[in-house]
Amino acid sequence: MTLLRRHWLLAALLAAGLALRVLALIAYHPALIYVDSLKYLYGLYPGSEPLGYTALLRTVLLAGDLGAVAVVQHLLGLAVAVALYAVLLRRGAAPWLAALAVAPVLLDAYQIQMEQMIMPEALFEAIVVTGLVVLLWRPAVSVPAAVAAGLVLGASASVKQIGLVLIIPAVAYLLVSCRPWSRSAVISGALIVAFLLPVVGYCAFSYARTGHFWLARRQTFAGRLAAAADCATLRLPASVRPICPTPAEQARGPDWLEHSGQSPLFSVPVKPGTRGALIAELNSAVAHQQPLRVAAAIVRDAVRLFGPTRHGSLSVTPISRWQFQTSYPTFPPWVRIGKSGEILVGLQPAPGTRFSFHVLRPSYGGRASVNRPVAAWLRSYQLDGGYTPGPLLALCVLAGLGGSAVAVIRRIRGGADDGALAAVLLFTATAALLLLVPDLYQFTWRYQLPALLTLPPAAALVVSALMSYRRGRASSGGVVAGQSDPERREDLLGRPGARSQAGGESAG
C-alpha cells in the first residue's frame, strides 16, 4: 500500500493506458495491417527494410497470430512508460512529475493505434528507451554500462535504419556527463565499439545473404527535392524538364512524387534506360540551385508537430492512416477485404511489377472483424483530443534546449556535473535526430511518435532541476552572504569557485 500511495498517479495512468489498449484489441481483429506490413509478413521488396522486426514477428507467430503480435506491442508500450518513469525517479524527478512525463506514451491514441498495427515502431521505441535507460540508470556511467547501452542502441538499427543516428546523442551525453575528459573519451570509445558490433554483424549477415553490405537500401531524396523545386526558374537540360512536376503535382507531396506510378518522375515517357539518370540530374539541380526552398520545405513539415490540432494535408501522407476507423482499414491494392470478410493482400515482387492477390494466411488470424461501437469510441477519443497537444510538445522542446545548453556550458566551464541536465541533453538530442532526419525525406505523422518518448521526459527533468534549485536557494535564505546576483546566476551554470552555504557541492 505504501508503494501504491507513493506512485498512485502512475498507477492510475497505467490503468487508463491498459484499458485503452484492451479496447484497441477488442475493436480490431486480428490486428491492423498497413501497406508496409506486407514487407515483414511476406518478405516483399527484399532489402528495403532491416529484418529485426521480421524476427519478432516470426517468433510470436510460432505460437500465436497477429493478435498476439499486437498484444506484445501493447505490452512494450506499457513497459516503455514504466522504464521512463523509473529512470526519471532515479534522476531526481518527483513521482507526480515523472508520471505526467510518461502520460503521453500511455494515453496518446496515435501511439496506441500504432501498437495495434503490424509495424516496427513499438519494438523500435522499446529498444531505444532500453538503451537510454541503461545509460541513465546510474549517475556515473561505467564501461560495462556503456558497452551494454551501445549494444542495445546498435541493435535498434536492425529494426529501423534510422537507429544509426542514436550513436550521436549517446556520445554527446557521455562527453558532457563523464569527468575528466580522458575518462569520457574511454567510455565513449567503448560505447562506439559496442554500437558498431550489431550494426556490422547485421551488415555481414546481409552480405552473406544478399551480396550487399547494408542494413537496408537507402531512401532517396527524390520526392522531397521534386516537391520543393521551382521548375519555372530551375535551369535544366531539355531532357530533364518534362519530369519536373507541376505545382498541382507538387501539392500532392514528397511521398506521392517518390512512390506513385502517376508521378511525373515515373509516368512521363523518357528514353529507355535513362530515367534514373534524369531523376538524379533533377535532384542535383534542385539541391544546388534552390537549397533554401528545400530547407524551407523541411522546416514547414517539421513544425507541423507543434500545431494546436491534428489535421490532414494533401502534401503529406494521409493522417487517416494513423487514426482509428469504424471499419477495417484497407489500402488497395495492397490490403482489401473480401465479400466474406477475408483479408486480401496484394503481393508485388518489386515496385512496378504485376500484383498477385492472396487471402491472408489463416495462421495470421483469419477474417477481419471490427467491433464498431468500441472502434467508434476510440476514434472519437482520438479525434477529440486524445493526443499530445502540439503546443505542449513545443514547450518541451524549449525546455529541453535550455536544459541542454546549461549542461554543455557547465561542461565547458568545468563546473559540477548535474545528472538531470545531462540527461536532458540525451533526451533532447535523441528527439531532434529521430524527428528531423525522417523529415529530410518526407513528413508523416508515424515518424513523430518518438517525440512522446523523449520530449516530455526532457522537460520533466528541467522542471525538476529548477525546483531543486529553488529549494536550494530557499534553504540558504535566498541570498548567500557576500554573493552578488550575477554570482548566484552563475551557480546555476556551475562556474568554478562558487559554493552554497547550504552544504551544496563545490562547483569546481
Residue 354 pLDDT > 90: no
Residue 55 and residue 211: Cα distance in Å, rounded? 20
Going by pLDDT thresholds of 50, 70 and 90, the confidence category of residue 217 is confident
Residue 343 pLDDT > 70: yes
Residue 129 pLDDT > 50: yes
With H, G, I as helix, E, B as strand and everything else as coil, classify residue 308: coil
Residue 200 pLDDT > 90: yes
CB 251 within 8 A of CB 263: no
Residue 409 pLDDT > 50: yes
pLDDT of residue 346: 92
Which residues on adjacent β-strands are paired with residue 357? Answer: 346
Sign of CA dihedral 330, 332, 334, 337: positive
Record the pTM.
0.91
Cα-based distances in Å from 419 to 135, 141, 217, 424, 507: 11, 11, 38, 9, 14
pLDDT of residue 468: 86
pLDDT of residue 420: 82
Q: Average the pLDDT over 42-62 and give the result.
A: 91
Sign of CA dihedral 338, 340, 343, 345: negative
Q: What is the mean pLDDT of the chain?
A: 90
> How many other CB atoms are there within 10 angstroms of residue 359's CB atom?
14
Range list of H helices, 268-389:
275-289, 291-302, 372-383
pLDDT tens-digit readout, 75-109:
999 999 999 999 999 999 999 999 999 999 999 99
Residue 282 and residue 226: Cα distance in Å, rounded? 8
- Which of 349-353, 374-378, 492-496 has the highest mean predicted lDDT (pLDDT)? 374-378
Cα-based distances in Å from 19 to 12, 22, 114, 291: 11, 5, 16, 48
pLDDT tens-digit readout, 456-502:
999 999 999 999 888 878 777 654 434 444 444 444 454 444 433 33
pLDDT of residue 475: 75
User: What's the DSSP call for residue 262?
Assistant: T
Going by pLDDT thresholds of 50, 70 and 90, the confidence category of residue 414 is confident
With H, G, I as helix, E, B as strand and everything else as coil, classify residue 358: strand
Of 442, 104, 78, nearest in space to 253 by CA: 442
Cα-based distances in Å from 326 to 24, 373, 436: 12, 8, 32
Cα-based distances in Å from 430 to 36, 129, 165, 242: 25, 10, 8, 40
Q: Average the pLDDT over 283-303 and give the result.
A: 95
Q: Which residue has the cell 491472408?
A: 360
Residue 94 and residue 91: Cα distance in Å, rounded? 9
pLDDT of residue 477: 64
Of 140, 168, 161, 163, nearest in space to 153 by CA: 163
Cis peptide before 333 (omega within 30 of 0): yes
Q: Are strands 28-29 and 369-370 parallel, antiparallel or unpaired?
A: antiparallel
Going by pLDDT thresholds of 50, 70 and 90, the confidence category of residue 418 is low
Residue 121 and residue 159: Cα distance in Å, rounded? 9
pLDDT tens-digit readout, 21-41:
999 999 999 999 999 999 999
pLDDT of residue 417: 64
pLDDT tens-digit readout, 147-182:
999 999 999 999 999 999 999 999 999 999 988 889
pLDDT of residue 390: 96
With H, G, I as helix, E, B as strand and everything else as coil, classify residue 264: helix
